[in-house]
Amino acid sequence: MERTTEDIVTEFNKMTTEDSTSTINCECSSINKSGKRENYMDWMEYFMALAFLSAERSKDPKTQVGACIVNEENKIVGIGYNGMPLGCSDDEFPWTKSSTDTLQRKSLYVCHAELNAVLNANSRSIKNSTIFVTLFPCNECAKVIIQSGIKSVIYASDKHANKDGTKAAKIMFNAAGVKYSQYFPKNKQLILNLSAIDNKEDN
Ligand SMILES: [Zn+2]
């Protein structure tokens, strides 16, 4: 039977994290008896890497967050990063956190990655899906996650664990039965070689 993302995260969290770097599309891929490439990226690493890649689209100078929603069949159904709402120009709306002019604070305007991922969902229902996030969701995003029917949250960082917003998010997740677990990526860095395709033979 196909392992669920939950099974996989449990398994991975038992493993120790190594301070390593992996090059995707590495030319020295190992191959098994049937000829199958062995060191391909696993689901967990893949979905979390997509969340991190998505965060690279963010214009926020301080915090770039990404989210990737995956359904029960391991299909990606939504992806997002923190950004201004449609029609609200990235060049005109403020990216500052604590301006003396309170209307010039980004928190009033920015849509968080989780909200965007839910709203961008390309599937009619994201019920029982899993959201991969680079940072533990805030309380506002926790509400969106719960209301959308997402059943599990896999996060990379919990650096705001002491903030009330994060504590409230956990209280709501616990009450609503949304599971959350931290995922420690096997590799600290993934280097994506965008020219590797030209350096490989097809067969
Ligand atoms: Zn949020």
- Span 24-71, pLDDT tens digits: 544 445 777 788 888 888 999 999 999 999 999 999 999 999 999 999
- Give the model's pLDDT for residue 27: 44
pLDDT band at 21 (very low <50, low <70, confident <90, very high): low
- Check whether 15 has a pLDDT greater than 80: no
Torsional class of 26: left (φ above 0), alpha (ψ -120 to 50), beta (otherwise): beta
18 is catalytic: no
Structure-token match 């990737």, residue found: 68
pLDDT for the residue numbered 5: 58
In angstroms, what is the span from residue 6 Cα to ligand 1's centroid? 22
Find, among 9, 12, 138, 141, the residue nearest to 78 by Cα: 141
pLDDT at 10: 60
Per the residue annotation, which of 2, 72, 73, 114 is the catalytic one? 114
Ligand 1 center–CA 138 separation, angstroms: 4
If pLDDT is split at 50, 70 and 90, which confidence band does 163 have?
Answer: very high
Residue 201 pLDDT? 72
Question: Is 202 a residue whose pLDDT tops 80?
Answer: no
DSSP 3-state of 49: helix
pLDDT of residue 19 exceeding 80: no
- The continuous run of DSSP H or E covering 45 comes out as helix 43-55
Q: Are 145 and 114 in contact (CB under 8 A)?
A: yes
The tokens describing 57, both together, are 């689209």
